[in-house]
Amino acid sequence: MKKGRLPLAATLLVLVFFYLPIIILVVNSFNAARFSSSWQGFTLEWYAKLFHSPEIWLSVRNTLVIALGSTAVSLVLGTAAAFALHRYAGSRLQQAHYTLIYTPLVVPEILMGISLLMAFVAAGTGLGLFTIFLAHVTFCVSYVAMVVLARLQDFDFQLIEAAQDLGASWWQSTRKVLLPLLLPGLAAGGLLAFTLSVDDFVITFFVAGPGSTTLPLRIYSMIKYGNPPMINALSTLLLAVTLTAVIASQRLARLKR
Amino acid sequence: MKRNKRRLQEWLISLPTLLWLSLFIVVPTVLVFAIAFRPANPYGGIGAGWTLETIRGLWTHGYLVIAWRTFWISAVTTVLCILLAVPTGYFIARASMKWQNRLLLLVIVPFWTSFLVRVFAWRSLLHPEGLIKQVLEGIGLASPQATLLYHPGAVVLVMVYTFLPFTILPIYAAAEKFDFRLVEAARDLGARPFQAFRKVFLPGIRRGLLTAVLVVFIPALGSYIIPDLVGGPASEMLGNKIAQRVFVDRNLPYAAALSAVLILAVLAPLIAVLVLQRKKGKADIIIGEAP
Amino acid sequence: MPEFLEFRGVSKRFGTIQAVGDVSLEIKKGEFFSLLGPSGCGKTTMLRIAAGFEEPDAGRVFLDGRDITDLPPNKRKVNTIFQSYALFPHMTVRDNIAFGLAIAKRTKREIDAEVDKMLHLIQMAGQADKKPDFLSGGQKQRVAVARALINKPDVLLLDEPLAALDLKLRQKMLIELDLIHDEVGITFLYVTHDQAEAMSLSDRIAVMDSGRIEQVGAPAEIYESPRTSFVAAFIGDTNFLEGRVLECQDHEYCRLAIAGLPEILCFNDRQLQPGQTIYLSIRPEKVHISRERPEEKPQRNIMPAAVEDVIYLGSTTKYWVRVAGYRIQVLRQHSRYFLDEKPLRWKDDVWIWWHADDGFMLDHFRKADESLLAVPPQKVGEPLNGPQEK
């Protein structure tokens, strides 16, 4: 069947729509003009300002610490959850389990943020990096669980039977067959969790305490009160870092084959 | 005996996430509903005792306006996203394998950038001295005083921008599984292209469509950043009000009451879909790969 | 000959379905034994019970005298070839084959020597470092066989290993499997739904249906002397005729009355009472068909018939003829090309006959088994059914 022009046109429109703001942003990060309404020469001034800003570095550090921590914990929890959901699929417990895991994926972030805030306030714990960490693990677990679950559902468990048939114990077949084949799924889940944690604003905004600023929080305050060109530069840097990470992981995935 | 051992294993391996999520999702949600029934402490935070005042305070004109606005902005965003996502998802699903991967990557990559950054990029673009305004002025479609920013249209634009990738993906996934020979069969039986599209393709991807609708509408209801940064006071949504109550007024019970409303508003479509599922006996319309 | 692999009273239920119901089977050492039956008959379940992947609800399994019912699969000296081969995709051919030996913690030198021998046996020495994704179907199957045989199991279990291959390749692999069995001498337990495979490869076959064993025997025995209507209808083709015993003469032949037909003579090897209802099974290739009336001979069952359908198949022709109220299938081989004989056509009047030795009276007849015979309907929309009975 011939593809009509409409789908192609729509796709092109959508792609232009997606990339236009990003391209403008990147271009303006090199723009010497303060208010980016016109081009006033190429400069790296804004990048330099970024590098010399201690608040930025502090927020970067906080962001990374929280992201690494929550990725690690959510990987463990999420993988265990995926195993449970897959192995005992259909039981009443798993149906409830699934609903619980599915919830953070569908509720607006503001609801999660505010309910966690209420919980922390009611419990009397102070707000700080630790509460951010707890919040991040909470939503990351669901994403990791879904990714790993999808991999498990695609996994041919007859391979495990074959390993056992050939003499492998439960542990041997897990170590030599299951884990190596599941590794790409775990890596994908981990990467997803990491990205979500680094990028999270709304939930972090509600459960952060004074002095526990992450990069998104700093960006927000810069947007409200600060220096537009520096935000452009910071955004471009973030974009470059993310793109490199994505390309690297794609290359890695291809290499593994 | 074996069955008990198996059940024990099941509980053990499910326990960590069950505990964590109960503690950090179920309990806080219950708390939100509980705190909605408490009065506000004049010095900020939660007061003592129980009252219905907070809830009654919701039923004011101001709040109803905001609730309505939240609803229609989310609805319009959803419709626009679906209108754009269906042809795009269709196109990508019909492309060659090589192009499918490339196009999907192109769609996803903006998602990998910081969400705040993208909203900020639009703010600059829509700024009175920003690029788009200059272009529009140049071709005579806008006057120098007109503002593109700080009104509901800007909010819808940026929301569509944010949620479109999430809409394209489930539609693409459903289109990819769809057997396009069904459309050919329809054409063979005399249907015109658009008829075949409407009567065969759209019902064929209805699971993807439903997922796409939910994946936009529900987060849109809870939007906070977008109306905050590009919407201005004329486009305040529930999310803004909640944040304002928490951070500006330090009135947690009001915020809790508003949040409770939002929770119910979010639950309503989800429950409606679940009931529909049960009735039709069809499993996992939303859930895709439910166990 | 000692019974090497034995199932005693094995039963297995999945939910409400009885997959295997009180099955007992004895397989001899070195035998090529097949479990043959349609999908859902329980043959794969039997195999999985032998391998240790399913635990029977009742009954025991013995290997070389030892009760292995409670042993987990990794502790049994039994190896399986899976239908999808289940080769480890992240390991090379070499590592796949070596897997069992590596688990058994043999030295690297031993492993390499054995693996090389195996690679030679399956003629894949040049592909040792490839990953399974890059192998053809036939190659994958050979690797699966090597991976299993290298452990020198007592029994090799094969789960429809040729099902995924196309026809020509399947024929080739059939011969290869046969050669491997002869060469290695291990007991093979082979599961299939394909009768040609089972008959050409096996020393003995167990025909299964709905979790029960219908008959066990050598291929010729199963084919020529089916005991039940299922075996008669599932393997090859046949005609069923219902009748009454008139008289049985000296345990050799019985005279039968079948409605609408002349008196039928049939070979008999058991006790039958006059008046007893029996079911006669006669295979199409045993029925002769001709224009001229055949010579009357004492053990020939001769009757006139009318041709209703002619299906030319090249080396043979299938005829559907009507005798009284019955539709009978006749298969005739063209061993010589008769230039001047006019081919039999629709509506021709013919004579059919068969020898009394070639009919077989069934122990057990089930009306439902008639649906296994593909009798062509007479009108569009008519259901497929067995021979009409007036």
pTM of the model: 0.78
User: Of A226-230, B181-185, C307-311, C351-355, which gets the smallest average pLDDT?
Assistant: A226-230
Residue-wise pLDDT for C170-202, tens only, equals 888 888 888 888 888 889 999 999 998 899 989
- Asked if residue C256 is part of any domain, the answer here is yes
Specify the residue for token string 């397989």: C27
Could you tell me if C376 and C309 are in contact, meaning their C-beta atoms sit under 8 angstroms apart? yes
In this predicted structure, the answer to whether residue C6 has a pLDDT above a threshold of 90 is yes
Closest partner CB to C84 (pick from A158, A164, A165): A158
List, in order, residues 6 or more apart from C113 with CB less than 8 Å away. Answer: none
Residues C214 and C317 in one domain: no
* Residues facing residue C255 across a β-bridge: C247, C265
CATH number of the CATH domain containing C104: 3.40.50.300
Q: In A, which residues are within 8 Å of B183 by CB distance?
A: 1
Residue-wise pLDDT for C366-375, tens only, equals 888 888 887 7
Residues C90 and C198 in one domain: yes
Residues C172 and C275 in one domain: no
Q: In A, which residues are within 8 Å of B94 by CB distance?
A: 3, 7
Q: Which of C224, C247, C267 is the last residue of a domain?
A: C224
Q: Rounded to an integer, what distance in angstroms lies between the CA atom of residue B197 and that of residue B186?
A: 9
For residue B26, give the chain A residue with the closest CA.
A100
Residues C58 and C176 in one domain: yes
- Asked if residue C378 is part of any domain, the answer here is no
Q: In C, which residues are within 8 Å of A169 by CB distance?
A: 74
- Asked if residue C144 is part of any domain, the answer here is yes
Q: Rounded to an integer, what distance in angstroms lies between the CA atom of residue C143 and that of residue C91?
A: 12
Q: Where are the alpha helices (DSSP H) in chain C?
A: 43-51, 93-103, 108-121, 137-149, 167-184, 195-201, 219-224, 229-234
Query: Are B118 and A22 in contact (CB < 8 Å)?
Result: yes
Closest partner CB to A22 (pick from B28, B121, B131): B121
Residues C339 and C203 in one domain: no
Q: In C, which residues are within 8 Å of A172 by CB distance?
A: 103
Average the pLDDT over A225-237 and give the result. Answer: 80
Q: How far is C192 from chain A (nearest CA, A)?
A: 19
Query: Are A103 and B90 in contact (CB < 8 Å)?
Result: no
Does A66 lie at the interface with C, CB-CB under 8 angstroms? no
Residues C178 and C292 in one domain: no
List, in order, residues 6 or more apart from A220 with CB less than 8 Å away. Answer: A201, A205, B116
Could you tell me if C102 and C49 are in contact, meaning their C-beta atoms sit under 8 angstroms apart? no
Mutation target among C45, C54, C81, C99 for the A interface, most CBs of A within 10 A:
C99
In this predicted structure, the answer to whether residue C363 has a pLDDT above a threshold of 80 is no
- Asked if residue C389 is part of any domain, the answer here is no
The pLDDT assigned to A256 comes to 56
Q: Which of C224, C242, C267 is the last residue of a domain?
A: C224
Tokens of C123: 């003629």
Residues C52 and C150 in one domain: yes
Does B250 lie at the interface with A, CB-CB under 8 angstroms? no
Could you tell me if C205 and C219 are in contact, meaning their C-beta atoms sit under 8 angstroms apart? yes
Residue-wise pLDDT for C26-59, tens only, equals 999 999 999 999 998 999 999 999 999 999 999 9
Q: In B, which residues are within 8 Å of A13 by CB distance?
A: 84
pLDDT confidence tier of residue C285, bands split at 50, 70 and 90: very high
Tokens of C60: 């025991």
Average the pLDDT over A129-156 and give the result. Answer: 92
| Per-residue pLDDT of chain B in tens (291 residues, 90 and over written 9) | 667 888 888 899 999 999 999 999 999 998 888 888 877 776 666 667 777 777 777 777 778 888 889 999 999 999 999 999 998 988 888 888 888 888 888 888 787 777 888 888 888 788 776 777 777 777 776 666 667 778 888 899 999 999 998 899 899 988 888 888 888 898 888 888 888 888 888 888 888 898 899 889 998 998 888 998 888 888 888 888 888 888 888 888 888 888 888 888 888 888 887 777 777 654 444 444 443
Strands (DSSP E) along chain A, which ranges? Answer: none
List the chains bordering chain A where 3 or more Cβ pairs fall under 8 Å: B, C
Could you tell me if C358 and C282 are in contact, meaning their C-beta atoms sit under 8 angstroms apart? yes
- Asked if residue C386 is part of any domain, the answer here is no
Domain, as residue range, for C303: 230-372
Instruction: Report the share of chain C in percent with pLDDT over 90.
Output: 51
Q: How far is C125 from chain A (nearest CA, A)?
A: 22
Domain boundaries defined on chain B: 62-250
Report the complex ipTM: 0.81
Q: In A, which residues are within 8 Å of B88 by CB distance?
A: 7, 10-11, 14
Tell me the residues of chain B between 101 and 130 that have a Cβ less than 8 Å away from chain A: 103, 106-107, 109-110, 112-118, 120-125, 127, 129-130
**Over the range C295-322, which residues count as b (16 or more CB within 10 Å of their CB) and which as e?**
eeeeeebebebebbeeeeeeeebbbbbe
DSSP-based three-state secondary structure for A79 = helix
- Asked if residue C385 is part of any domain, the answer here is no
Helix (H) or strand (E) holding B185: helix B181-188
* DSSP state, residue B7: H
Residues C278 and C356 in one domain: yes
Instruction: Report the share of chain C in percent with pLDDT over 70.
Output: 94
Query: Are B252 and A78 in contact (CB < 8 Å)?
Result: no
Closest partner CB to C90 (pick from A156, A172, A181): A181
CATH number of the CATH domain containing C340: 2.40.50.100
Query: Are C74 and A168 in contact (CB < 8 Å)?
Result: yes
CATH fold of B62-250 reads MetI-like fold (1.10.3720)
- Asked if residue C387 is part of any domain, the answer here is no
Tokens of C55: 């635990």
The pLDDT assigned to B288 comes to 45
Closest partner CB to A238 (pick from B113, B218, B289): B113
Helix (H) or strand (E) holding A109: helix A109-123
* DSSP state, residue C135: S
Q: Which of C224, C239, C261 is the last residue of a domain?
A: C224
The pLDDT assigned to B285 comes to 43
The pLDDT assigned to B20 comes to 93
Could you tell me if B251 and B260 are in contact, meaning their C-beta atoms sit under 8 angstroms apart? no
List, in order, residues 6 or more apart from A160 with CB less than 8 Å away. Answer: A173, A174, A177, A178
Could you tell me if A59 and A79 are in contact, meaning their C-beta atoms sit under 8 angstroms apart? no
Closest partner CB to A165 (pick from C79, C88, C104): C79
In this predicted structure, the answer to whether residue C132 has a pLDDT above a threshold of 90 is yes
The pLDDT assigned to A44 comes to 82
pLDDT confidence tier of residue C340, bands split at 50, 70 and 90: low
User: What total number of domains does chain C contain?
Assistant: 2
Instruction: Report the share of chain A in percent with pLDDT over 90.
Output: 34
The pLDDT assigned to B151 comes to 82
Q: Which of B97, B107, B152 is nearest to B126 (CA)?
A: B152
- Asked if residue C383 is part of any domain, the answer here is no
In this predicted structure, the answer to whether residue A105 has a pLDDT above a threshold of 70 is yes
Instruction: Report the share of chain A in percent with pLDDT over 70.
Output: 93
Q: Which residue has the higher pLDDT, C320 or C1?
A: C320
pLDDT confidence tier of residue C208, bands split at 50, 70 and 90: very high
